[in-house]
Structure 1
């Protein structure tokens, strides 16, 4: 049975962001203790990002870059599994295997399904506003979204729908993936408990989502180069968020 220790509800947004700051500081400390794991993870994220961009361009599907990278939060927790395990090892001072490897596969399948659903939803939204016309290349797509009345409306709707997808996924994945690394529990139970923790600590979860999304957007804006450092930093910090809210097990 998994014991849950939800954090006390913060009384203000200031408290929430200060709490998040302590998680980031703890993440920096872990990065310094496990630099090789952190850098390998960051390089892995960087490489996957570039391969995704190259693949979409080669397939003449550059328009998908917008929905794919707006949905990066849907699968990012899966890429941080090694970071969660390293942070757990730092905490316990010993190495132990991932507690629920099979359930991580189940959780990964659910998150990938959500990503595919979001990409498909983005294509359907485009069809609703522009009909069955061929989707233009990325540059023209961005021009349409930013400088035409219909495109602006589509952008607002897309941001709203994408925000719902991202918020839901953050709620179910943010703490469930670290939990599956740490504890023997099934994927859907872990996701439910992650969602419950976010619901009971709404300001804290929202502040964490805003900070981590902002950090990753800053990394993407550098052509992914900064994500080599920022991705592992966020991953290590997310482990400390989980540990703070649930308390890592003593298995």
Structure 2
């Protein structure tokens, strides 16, 4: 046995220290995984269409209510930024769809009390904090819209959305507002997408905190930037086109996107048992 000169025992130099697996580890993906996840999402929608249509209808009704309220208050010129802000809460609305996909994957029977009960339980979990993150980003988006309106168009009011649209597309100031506003909005959307692309399904599926979930989500984008940006473009274009017919397209597109997001999460974030444990580099022991 090794010892010091005073006779005290010395800890072996090669003592191995087991460490917990990294909860933020992610798998790199390609477009093939996105296509496969999309196919799985469509399959889940066909397997449980009533659940998908229900959550899609709730999302569409919320969009109609938001824009309709703005028009009723005489602020119809804010319809476009409000619609974009409402689009940002899609991942939170889709929690019910993630639960449906999780149950289909596990072979667990589907029931309305079971699915809605899981959603209700999230009020005590970390998803609530993620909802605050999304709300904060929405507030940032609306404040920058008001700031750009003041900078480029002054504090004038518009009687209708048509009048606002005419000013925006026919004046230099309006075109500059449109250009800068969309650039800033795209930047905010990219940040929100990076924070939420897998964090909501991860928080539903695992016992992790929302900071860990956001780090994992950002790492998934950094690890596979091109496929993830491609997925972001698919989501953005699909949602924007779905909003054009009075948000009614969301009844069909939201469930497919929600189910797809669940399967994309399952491909990106490995199972806990699949993550190798870290250990010290040396495995020798002193006799």
TM-score, normalised to structure 2, is: 0.79
Which residue of structure 2 aligns with residue 189 of structure 1?
212
Which residue of structure 1 aligns with residue 130 of structure 2?
107
Contact preservation (8 Å) 1:73, 1:169: no
Which residue of structure 2 aligns with residue 119 of structure 1?
142
Structure 2: distance between partners of 1:25 and 1:86: 16
The structural deviation recorded for 1:200 is 1.2
Structure 2: distance between partners of 1:152 and 1:67: 15
Aligned residue pairs, count: 244
Contact preservation (8 Å) 1:71, 1:166: no
Bigger shift: 21-30 or 91-100? Answer: 91-100
Structure 2: distance between partners of 1:53 and 1:73: 12
CA deviation vs aligned residue, 1:14-58 (integer Å, no higher than 9, x gap)? xx2x43222211100011112121011011011111111221111
- Unaligned 5+ segments in structure 2 are 1-20, 274-287
Contact preservation (8 Å) 1:64, 1:119: no
What SS class does the counterpart of residue 207 from structure 2 fall into?
coil
Which residue of structure 1 aligns with residue 224 of structure 2?
201
Task: Note the 1:29-178 alignment, pairs <5 A.
Answer: 29-94=43-108, 97=118, 101-135=124-158, 137-178=160-201
What SS class does the counterpart of residue 118 from structure 1 fall into?
helix
What SS class does the counterpart of residue 83 from structure 1 fall into?
helix
Runs of 4+ with >4 A deviation: 95-101
What SS class does the counterpart of residue 125 from structure 2 fall into?
helix
User: Which has the larger Rg?
Assistant: 2
Structure 2: distance between partners of 1:55 and 1:113: 21
Query: What value does the CA root-mean-square deviation take over the aligned residues?
Result: 2.1
CA deviation vs aligned residue, 1:141-168 (integer Å, no higher than 9, x gap)? 2222222111111111011100000000
Structure 1: distance between partners of 2:243 and 2:260: 19
More helix by share: 1
- Unaligned 5+ segments in structure 1 are 11-15
Structure 1: distance between partners of 2:218 and 2:87: 15
Contact preservation (8 Å) 1:73, 1:170: no
Bigger shift: 186-195 or 241-250? Answer: 241-250
What SS class does the counterpart of residue 74 from structure 2 fall into?
coil
Structure 2: distance between partners of 1:22 and 1:50: 32
What SS class does the counterpart of residue 126 from structure 2 fall into?
helix
Contact preservation (8 Å) 1:60, 1:137: yes
Which residue of structure 1 aligns with residue 28 of structure 2?
8
Which residue of structure 1 aligns with residue 6 of structure 2?
none
Structure 1: distance between partners of 2:199 and 2:158: 36
Which residue of structure 2 aligns with residue 212 of structure 1?
235
The structural deviation recorded for 1:84 is 0.5
Which residue of structure 2 aligns with residue 20 of structure 1?
34
